[in-house]
Structure 1
Amino acid sequence: MNKRQFIAQCLRFNRKSYILAVILIFIVNWLQVEIPRYIQLAIDLIDDSSATGHADLSRYVWVVVAMSAVMIVARIFSRIYALNPGRIIEAMLKNKLLQKLNRLPNSFHEKFSSGSLISIINNDLNGVRMMFGTGFLQLVNVFFALSLTPLWMWRISPELTLYSAIPISIAFVIFRIGFKRMKKYNAEHLYRLQDLSAQLMKFLAGIDLIKNQQMSPWVQAEVEKRNQRLLRCRIQISRIQIFIMPVLDYANNVMKILILGLGGYMLMKQELTLGEITAFLSYSVLLAMPLMQLGRIATIYQRGMLSIESVQRILNAQVPEQDQSILSQPEVDQLKGKTLSVRNLNFSYDDSRLVLKNISFDVPVGKKVGVLGSIGSGKTTLVNCLNHYLEVPKGTVFLGDRDITSFARSDLHRYMKTITQTPYLFSATIEENIRFGSDNESIDKYKIEQVLELSQLANDVSRFDKGDQTLVGEKGIMLSGGQKQRLSIARALLNPIDLIIMDDVLSAVDYETERKILLGVFQRLENQSALVVSHRVSALEYMDEIIVLHEGAMIAKGSHQALLKTCPYYYETWQLQQNEAEEQQC
């Protein structure tokens, strides 16, 4: 969808509101140019002392009062019908953008940082809202004002109208130059906002490291550098808005001087009446506001078009073909109870070095499979391949007899859940974080308590003043690392699912707590499959089968007891960690 189609679709979506707004704005502008005409007639009757003149004067005054009252009501409703579509379109686009971002693959999110996307949704959508709200209102208002007002001026004096157009014409040439320069700076302004937002998001994500390494001065300098670039851009825009864009307002003042000078001369020659001069000046006042608004309309239009371009980067992004069609419920049911199989999986991020090398294994129904490996062995990459977060080669990962690349990721996630080593918690209560993503109506309080027990978090929660109604803060800042991990486990255990993948989720708890959590999880998942990824042997001792990864390759596979005898790497790792556990107990 190009820009024209996008704008046309938004206009059609709110066409009834826009049509009513246009009608009401026309009525307002028609009344604005009619009122000075009746004022003119009233002024010309001031010297008429006859009864007929007094009656006509009184009638004209009441007509002006009635027109003013109607104009006030019409103006109020014109603003309602013209401004509301902007808010409606903003809300609609936010929903569409969030829905689209959820469907786009990891390859898209690698191109755009979270900060840039947040800036688009917050800052750029404001530009779209202004364009379809305030921009539309002012554009239609200016169109009718600049169409009707000069026509009524021409009816009074064509000669004076032509003289009045001279300063306006010169001002339009200068305005055009400022308009072009403003477009360049508005584009830079949006880019600078996105850059600053992206950098702030990166720094906030690593705030602990920044504090520990005393990197605050460097971070402040980096933020100040980007902030100054944004400031310089804003100053350039402000200079144009202050000195160039108001040139039409200056021209309007010059026009008033011409009207007073030439109009006074024509009055002395009796070519115009006092009422006509008064009406002509009233029309020049009516022209002042539309001419001043042209500068703001230009700014709103430019920012709106640039914002639409940013929004379309997301809306026009290509969703993978398999993610565009969702399986029916009977087809989803057929996936349940199937074995997850990996066959000769090779994966690399940059087509140079293989991160995973010829990996093959199965996760049968109800079986518990472990993956052991040190840091950098490819464990997390393997998990992201299994849940199709990464683009895996076709013919390497299967669910039953179906290749996972042949159907939507959302359907795959109905079969499996992944608990990551860096869980995300919302600024809500413990209970609300556990319920997140579940059907709240079908889950009672007992289930919440049960999963808290299984995740070994119940004792911690009982010590909080408000229990499970305790607010955890943004990203769970009020909780320790181990509590965050256990809370994410409780969330995953709330609803039953065929396969649960745990990616090193117990790294922040001690060995004893880890053992209790795993026993509780396996008790809960008695008839379900589990894939537990860890660098600790103690986390995998109870697995039916353990896969050992080393530098991206699968070097051994078997039970805990078998691997102790047949795999030197596994035995050495187990022995080393046993010594560490004994030292912790001492």
Structure 2
Amino acid sequence: MPALLSIHQSVIKALRLMTKSKFILHYFLLNKFSYLFAIVCIFVVNYLQVEIPRYIQLAVDLLNESTLASKQGLVENVQWVIALSVVMVVIRILSRVYSLNPGRITEATLKNDIFQRLNRLPSTFHAQFASGKLISIINNDLNGIRLFYGIGFLQLFNILFALSLTPIWMWKISPALTLYSVIPIIIASIIFRIGFRRLRALQAERLTRLQDLSEQLMNYLGGIDLIKNQQMGEWVTSELNEVNRRLFDCTMKIAKIQTIFMPILDYANHFMKVLILGLGGYYLLQEKLSIGEITAFLSYSVLLAIPLMHLGRIVTVYQMGMISIDSVQNILNNEVPSTDLLRMDIDQKSALRKSTLLVKNLSYCYPSATNGQSEMVLKDLNFSIEPGEKVGVLGSIGAGKSTLVNCLNHHLSLQAGQIFWGNKDITQVSRQDWRSYVRTITQDPFLFSDTISENVKFGSKQQDQAADQLDMEQVLELSQLSEDVRRFSDGDQTLVGEKGIMLSGGQKQRLSIARALLTPSDLIIMDNVLSAVDYETERTILKGVFNRIEGQSLLVVSHRVSALEYMDKILVLEQGEIIARGTHAQLLESSSYYRHTWQLQQHETEDSA
């Protein structure tokens, strides 16, 4: 195990320190055979392109002759032009297929890699990166990487082979005319480089602006009901207009540079053609060149112009690719905790089943505390949950209940030696393995835009277990949701909408309870999940849960005493400390805080009735 841990740590460090060149090479090698075949095809296409004008030259020179041999030679040269053109078209199609497809493959692979990394990164990473920014990176930045590995690769080798083969054939016809033709290209390249530098900075700014816009949209769409209720539409519109205006200004600057600097090479190509015609006509009069040679030279100038015109595009693709790789590396180079890369085998998992959860001197403070002063949210908590034991945690708002839950389910990063499962420190257990022992039901459950049935069965899918229809009906009954489901026209096939928008708060909470009850686990944590139901429904649900999870441990966190009165023991949490513990009857006698809360809530219940 130590050797395996060392290997995983080495892999993590290598990924974290992966340079941009290594990143590019790594994903190039994923499609190396496709790229190698594409390079061969691109070379053949460019070779045929420079061979065809040679046959055109021979054919044009034979037009002035009227002999039978010249006519036969003319026909042969034309046939060669047609045959080479057909072969070139076929090979060009193959070159595009095998050079563009890897871009799509790389994009799909990167999306999987990014999703897996995001799924493994701790909560501290997600606290730094808003969901809107991550979505923008996955959509916009990966699009730039796809172009980089697809059209960028194709055009790069097209330009390399064209700029290396074409001048050689031009030099064979006339070295002097070739040198004169290069002059406008050199001048245009110097001007082009000025715009290239400015364009790179603007491309980086544009992707940042897109991330800002995506983040704002996610925030406002998430709170759309509040915006409508508080009549904040005008303010939100003005804020979005400001973000959008900055993106528009940046995009317009890019468009201006592309309009002014990018066509410079195209202008140089036109000037080169004029130069060839002028000097070529002079050499023709001097009988230094034939009409066929001038025709071939003009054909070569066209072949030279095509990659020059594409150079502006490939520069843009290259810049977008480099900037996008920086954004993606911000995700991939973040360190995944080494323990999360380790997985226990079946025997190790079985040995820890039905263990005792032991909390020893648990203290926690959030790392994002302001002014560098960290205030303890949890202070020296000590308790245990035995197999099959039902434990409650009572606390007011701000007492530290949610922090305690996030420590127990290892959502937060902890120091070693504070929480144990049996004899195993949970900081030495991967979060994925830990989820197989502990199931958390939160007060704000996340539902997928799918049917009620699929949302309930989601947990069993994650555990690779099949849930039959009978089990699902039972958990719907236990969570007091079956009556609501029967009232729906489509029953359990009713679509709940995005984030469960078609359901009420209480229905969403009960659906999340049904999801957790469907698949067995050793410890179920219910974090204030009954806050949106009435007291009678709360008691009925808890009784059903007790019957369903016979032999399993249960931790119920609530600010309601009524949800905890049937627990084996209750912990009273106040300002991060346990101020009392015992059964419901014991706490009514010994804890004034518990007794006062109980009496107050009893009066509220009577008033509601």
TM-score (norm 2): 0.94
AA partner of residue 521 (structure 1): V
Counterparts of 1:352 and 1:24 in 2: how far apart (Å)? 62
- Alignment match, 1:272: 289
Deviation at 1:481, TM superposition (A): 1.0
Aligned counterpart in structure 2 of residue 464 of structure 1, from 473, 488, 503 = 488
Instruction: Please give the per-residue CA displacement for 1:142-171, whole angstroms capped at 9, x wherever unaligned.
Output: 111111111111111111111111110000
CA contact (8 A) 2:393 2:572 kept: yes
Say which of 137, 147, 160 aligns to 1:120: 137
Match of 1:486 in 2: 510
Paired letter, 2:163: L
- Give 1:24-423 correspondences, 5 Å limit: 24-349=41-366, 350=369, 351-423=373-445
- C-alpha distance in 1 between matches for 2:263 and 2:501: 50
Q: Which moved more, 1:444-453 or 1:173-182?
A: 444-453
Given residue 420 of structure 1, which amino acid in structure 2 is its aligned partner? Answer: T
More moved, 287-296 vs 137-146: 287-296
- Following TM superposition, by how much is the alpha carbon of 1:452 offset from its aligned partner in structure 2, in angstroms? 1.0
How far, CA to CA, are the matches of 2:239 and 2:82 in structure 1? 61
Q: 1:441 to 1:492 in 2, by over 3 A?
A: closer
Counterpart of 1:496, as a letter, is: P
Residue 523 of structure 1 aligns with an amino acid whose one-letter code is: N
Equivalent residue number for residue 8 of structure 1: 25
Q: Distance in 1 between matches of 2:147 and 2:308?
A: 19
Q: Secondary structure at the match of 1:342?
A: strand
2:460 is the counterpart of 1:438: yes
Contact 2:459 2:519 in 1 (8 A): no
Of 580, 583, 590, which aligns to 1:556? Answer: 580
Offset, 1:284: 1.3
Corresponding residue of 1:546: 570
SS in 2 for 1:538: coil
Letter in 2 for 1:240: I
Unaligned runs of 5+ in 2: 1-17
Question: What is the alpha-carbon distance in structure 2 between the residues aligned to residue 48 and residue 437 of structure 1?
Answer: 85
- Superposed CA deviations along residues 297-353 of structure 1, whole A, max 9, x for unmatched, are 111111111111111111111111222222222111121111111112111113521
Aligned equivalents of 1:555 and 1:12: distance in 2?
60
SS in 2 for 1:543: coil
**What is the CA–CA distance in structure 2 between the aligned matches of 1:301 and 1:295, rounded to whole Å?**
10
Q: 1:522 and 2:546 equivalent?
A: yes
- For each residue in 1:369-408, what CA deviation from the matched residue of structure 2 results, as whole angstroms up to 9, or x when unmatched? 1111111111000000111111223221111122211221
- 1:49 match: secondary structure: coil
1:539 aligned counterpart, secondary structure: coil
Comparing 247-256 with 516-525, greater Cα deviation is found at 516-525
How far apart, in 2, do the equivalents of 1:390 and 1:210 lie?
31
Letter of the 1:185 partner, please give it. Answer: L
**Contact 2:459–2:518 (CA under 8 A) maintained in structure 1:** no
Alignment partner for residue 535 of structure 1, among 544, 549, 559? Answer: 559
Gaps of at least 5 residues in structure 1 are none
Equivalent position to 2:34, from 17, 32, 38: 17
Find runs of 4+ consecutive structure 1 residues off by over 6 angstroms: none
- 1:565 CA drift (Å): 1.8
> Structure 2 CA distance, aligned partners of 1:437 and 1:123?
31
Mapped to 1, the partners of 2:197 and 2:263 lie a distance apart of 15
Mean alpha-carbon deviation: is it higher for 195-204 or for 456-465? Answer: 195-204
The residue type paired with residue 27 of structure 2 is C
SS of the residue aligned with 2:580?
strand
3-state DSSP of counterpart to 1:442: coil
- Which secondary structure does the structure 2 equivalent of 1:306 belong to? helix
In 1, Cα distance between equivalents of 2:60 and 2:604: 101
> How many residues get paired?
585
Compute the TM-score of the two structures, normalised by the length of structure 1. 0.98
* CA deviation after TM superposition for structure 1 residue 584, in Å: 2.4
The 8 Å contact of residues 266 and 305 in structure 2, kept in 1 or not, is answered as: yes
Name the residue aligned to 2:446.
Answer: 424
Deviation of 1:441 (Å): 6.4
Q: Compare 568-577 and 134-143 and name the one that shifted more.
A: 568-577
Inter-partner Cα distance in structure 1 for 2:19 and 2:175 = 44
Secondary structure of 1:358's aligned partner: strand
Alpha-carbon distance in structure 2 between the residues aligned to 1:294 and 1:410: 48
For structure 1, which segment, 554-563 or 491-500, has the greater mean C-alpha deviation from structure 2 after superposition? Answer: 554-563
Q: Give the whole-Å Cα distance in 1 for the aligned partners of 2:259 and 2:533.
A: 60
Distance 2:535 2:310 in 1: 69
Query: 2:601 maps to what in 1?
Result: 577
From 444, 451, 465, the equivalent of 2:475 is 451
* Aligned-partner SS, 2:294: helix
Whole-angstrom CA distance in 2 between matches of 1:48 and 1:218: 82
- Cα distance in 2, alignment partners of residues 584 and 36 from structure 1: 93
Instruction: Please list the CA deviations of residues 393-449 of structure 1 after superposition, one character each: whole Å capped at 9, or x if unmatched.
Output: 322111112221122122211110111111111111111111114247622111111
